[in-house]
Structure 1
Amino acid sequence: IADYDIEFIANIDSTNIRPADWDKILYQIKENYKNYDGFVITHGTDTMAYTASALSLAIKGLGKPVVLTGSQIPGEKIESDARRNLVNAFRVAIMDISGVFIVFDERIILGSRASKASESKLDAFQSINSEDAGEIAIAIKIKDWVKKRSLEPPEIEIWPGFESDIFVYTLSPGCDPEDLEFLLNNQKIKGMIIRAYGTGNIPYGFETFFRKAKERNLPVIVTSQCLHGQTLMHLYEVGRKALQSGAIEGHEQSLETLCVKLMWGLKHCPERIESLI
């Protein structure tokens, strides 16, 4: 399929991945960008979508494919999906496309739209609020909107650095806003994401928390608990009150992408988090 070289960056369970590991991948791609036509990254499935989002956000001017893949069944098992996914990742990495992608089972998913949807199915990843970038069958089909390869610019620009001290909170019936107000006293927390109901609906009583968070310059992003949901917080009063009190709307993005954007933005443009989201 292709000539290749191998570099080991972090031989760890992906559950243990840290933002510093994303930086290592970024530096490795930048250092070798001129030497290769594409890059394939093998990665554990648990945090693969986070890494794909991080690379999508932190690489500017990418004109080649960067493909992440892995397996649901360990590679040493005879029934493993590892070989098939790896072969298909190489097939995609030599195509006339550019961007960060996850190649898994029959899907080619844009890195910034991927989310792990199953812990056991071989079709483990889904594209959130966007169609797949392509399909793997006997032939590989790429959607027309996927960007083509480009030699300009000849080098990429990377923006490493992610703030790891964020907090993700999932609403449940009866949750007390005082629990979150207590967290405002923890100066280690630099940003928060609230997984709200439906279209981004927040129970009455959280307005004081949002106002205090804004006074502390602590960005609080609201997203939907629905896997394929989006926030439309202006639709209902419970959403409008949160917006008026300082909540930042997460729109149609996956939790993985929102986490990475918040982490990256806190490092590089903390005053522009809302526009970044």
Structure 2
Amino acid sequence: MAKKLTILLVYTGGTIGMIKDYKTGALKAFDFNQILKKIPELKQLNCEISTISFDEPIDSSNMNTDYYVKIAEIIEENYSQFDGFVVLTGSDTMSYTSSVISFMFENLQKPVIFTGSQLPIGELRTDAKENLITSIEVASARENGQPIVSEVCLYFEYKLYRANRTTKVNAEQFEAFASMNYPPLAESGVHLYFNEHLLFKSEDKNQQLVVRKKLDTNIVILKLYPGITKKVVQSIVGIPNLKGIVLETYGAGNAPTEKWFLELLEKTISKDVNVVNVTQCAGGSVIMGHYETSIELQKIGLVNGKDITTESAVAKLMYLLGEKLTKKEFKYHFEKSLRGEISDTNKV
């Protein structure tokens, strides 16, 4: 009989870990040590499940870099003991959290699957059970003794996505996430089908896991809108100690060509602030220089975010700024795919 695989379940907080007290009607945190009693179907999986929970479950709205590091350290400390990891967080910030974790882990050789739910685990129509069961199944999936998945993923409502490609798109439907610029890595139906040619693999399997914990939060998202004023832009680019800006532009990376706007950006870049150009569109890519309205941005030195999501751009910015790179090095590494977060071409 094949040796049972070991999966570590890490609960940080979020809707999935709540159950209803039927006497009071209030929601309370679920004890994940009792997971097999609540979801006996897990016994059908050929794996042993251990759990670690945050002492105080946190709402996803309170997620921050200290918690990112805490999640990464739990996995790092248990990396040699377990075959795979399932991380439960609140869905509202899951794309941000899972994207950051994907950059923090270098040479990852094991699956780290993020999931959660729209309804608490104790609700009658909950999506929590399916999301959790299939996430554990994904984390324990093997082919020729090797994990099929060896990257940071997000599983929700029958689809497995690369975590750093996702965006939460719906607050009410069970199908809460989308990956507009990259296909699902796996789909769960009658069978669990992996699109293996889409999976990310580390180039050198003999390399040791490296965990990058220095994250720089001196960044801001500047979303353009018609009629944005000089005062608004000035106040944002003038934030003390600012080191990075995710500039959400229109369409394929277009922005106003007004002199004051370009001068403010150029002055900001000259102060060693890295400005990354990402599109406001749900899907598609920044193509710098494609239209006249982005040629000037290219000239003054904006970094091309290509088809990266805003969530992943924030994560990558925090990670690369923490590495203390030169401006040239930063631009090179941001515009390059490090964890499969951007496409090498504009089409997948």
Structure-2 change in CA distance of 1:61 and 1:210 (3 Å):
same
Find the structure with the greater CA-based Rg.
Answer: 2
Structure 1: which amino acid aligns with 2:286? T
Secondary structure, aligned partner of 1:4: strand
Paired position in structure 2 for 1:153: 206
Structure 2: which amino acid aligns with 1:123? E
**Residue pair 2:86, 2:135 contacting (<8 A) in 1 also:** yes
Structure 2: which amino acid aligns with 1:182? S
When normalised by structure 2's length, the TM-score is 0.76
- Superposed CA RMSD in Å reads 1.8
CA distance in 1: counterparts of 2:251 and 2:236, whole angstroms: 24
Q: List alignment gaps of at least 5 residues for structure 2.
A: 1-44, 143-147, 335-348
CA distance in 2: counterparts of 1:44 and 1:149, whole angstroms: 28
Paired position in structure 2 for 1:167: 220
User: Post-superposition shift, 1:118?
Assistant: 1.1
Q: Which of 253, 258, 262 is equivalent to 2:313?
A: 258
**Residue pair 1:222, 1:248 contacting (<8 A) in 2 also:** yes
How is 1:185-196 mapped onto 2 (pairs within 5 angstroms)?
A: 185-196=238-249
User: Post-superposition shift, 1:80?
Assistant: 1.1
Mean CA deviation greater in 188-197 or 176-185: 176-185
Q: List alignment gaps of at least 5 residues for structure 1.
A: none
Paired position in structure 1 for 2:276: 221
CA distance in 1: counterparts of 2:219 and 2:303, whole angstroms: 15
How is 1:115-126 mapped onto 2 (pairs within 5 angstroms)?
A: 115-126=167-178
Structure-2 change in CA distance of 1:212 and 1:151 (3 Å):
closer
CA distance in 2: counterparts of 1:104 and 1:50, whole angstroms: 15
When normalised by structure 1's length, the TM-score is 0.94
**Residue pair 1:200, 1:223 contacting (<8 A) in 2 also:** yes
Spell out, residue by residue over 1:9-57, the C-alpha distance to the aligned partner (whole angstroms, 9 max, x if none): 3611111100111111111111111111100111110111111111111
Structure 2: which amino acid aligns with 1:220? V
Secondary structure, aligned partner of 1:130: coil
Structure-2 change in CA distance of 1:183 and 1:154 (3 Å):
closer
Q: Which of 74, 90, 93 is equivalent to 2:120?
A: 74
**Residue pair 1:34, 1:155 contacting (<8 A) in 2 also:** no
Secondary structure, aligned partner of 1:121: coil
CA distance in 1: counterparts of 2:119 and 2:185, whole angstroms: 24
Paired position in structure 1 for 2:251: 198
CA distance in 2: counterparts of 1:29 and 1:155, whole angstroms: 14
Structure-2 change in CA distance of 1:73 and 1:213 (3 Å):
same
